[in-house]
Chain A
Amino acid sequence: MSPNLYFDKITSAYRENIEPLEQLEIELLLEALYRYYGFDFRDYVLPSIRRRIWHRIHAEKLSTISGLQEKVLHDRNTMKRLIADFSINVTEMFRDPSFFRAFRTTIVPLLQDYACIRIWHAGCSTGEEVYSMAILMHEEGLHHKTRYYATDMNADVIEEAKRRSFALDKLQAYSNNYMQAGGTKSLSDYYTIDNNQASLHPYLADSIVFAQHNLAVDQSFNEFHVIICRNVMIYFNSVLQNRVHTLFHESLSRSGFLGLGHKESIAYTSHSALYKEMDAHEKLYRKIK
């Protein structure tokens, strides 16, 4: 029995709690979303997508998934709200600081000799992570030759990311993260507070390209030296995870680096043999084949 089958077996354990009718409704809704609007959530992990659907149903004061389907198909705004619900934009600056610390100590020395560095943040959400990376690269003296590609399937969050501003109340946590991530300066060197918003200095965004890109349907758009995709694939089932891994593998340059989320792993995918572990705990990998 292959590992993926195991995986699906376990995920099907959640499915068992779902009534066949509800399951059908969910599948129909997702199919409708894909067929009519082109958004493909069919390979998202079911329990999560189910919760998001019910969240939207309650918010729309509906009672059934079919009811939501009707509304989604006939009202574009409802569709937009549902899609927004599906995209979980939880992020923070230097989230899981140890990841950034490991990146700094393990990967950065290997990037020093590159003439130019291209980093892709797949699923960048509101941009905290790509700005964190820019700060890190700046401190390591690599910012000037680095180009960042921050993509997300949700156009709204990209617009938000472009603003470079974050709520003031998050900055304490960000400062702590920054310090734990081995920052060599002070996070306050990079922002100014104005009107209860922390605005990052514009030079950090100089070489960041923000774009809409859907991992479930879109193709590769460049070759990258580093791809960071953290806590995105946890929402995908094994089929979609495999697709994304293939996409990343195609998009990575020779000996390129891949960074995943703390709770993610390449270990149970068919791509595990293509990478070498750089830091098993921080989920940093290097392409070897």
Chain B
Amino acid sequence: MIIISLLFFMTATAISMLWLRDLFAVVMLSGIYSLFAAVIYMVMDAVDVAFTEAAVGAGISTVLMLGTLALTKSKEKVHKKIAYGPLALVLITGGILVYGTLDMPHYGDANAPIHSHVASRYIEKSGLEVGVPNIVTSVLASYRGYDTLGETAVVFTAAIGVLVIIGRRKKKRKKTGAVNDGGDIA
């Protein structure tokens, strides 16, 4: 019941984000959407995921979106023509995704593949092998240490990408007379 009402609020937030033209309100609503998602993860006992969603989705990305908003206009341009091609593409993709969820195991199904593969081994043995009370941490940092190294490299690459694309050092106009596009990377 809690999850259904939370999902209702999430849907309402998403639809109002679609209707609003004021981008500041849209950014705020996307933060609220992330908070609802975090609460749903919390209800599902995925505390670590909820933590990350609240910190990244509701916190940092809202700030970054506001920073982007300061660079652009805060009103969305209104397009009067309806683009039928993209609309059809979105509807078909969405339909396929919904069709795909029909095959997914029910929430809490004990026979679901994620519960029958290696999860039981982690639950039984991680206390003896790793000795860390939080199984999420022992899976993340020890059993799946390679994956987490890859994730850290992804975060590193993302930040480097941002620095390369918009973090260029601007040549001073007073000295050079013109902005050099090929300025060195800051």
A and B associate in one complex: no
What residues make up the interface of B, taking CB atoms closer than 8 Å to A?
none
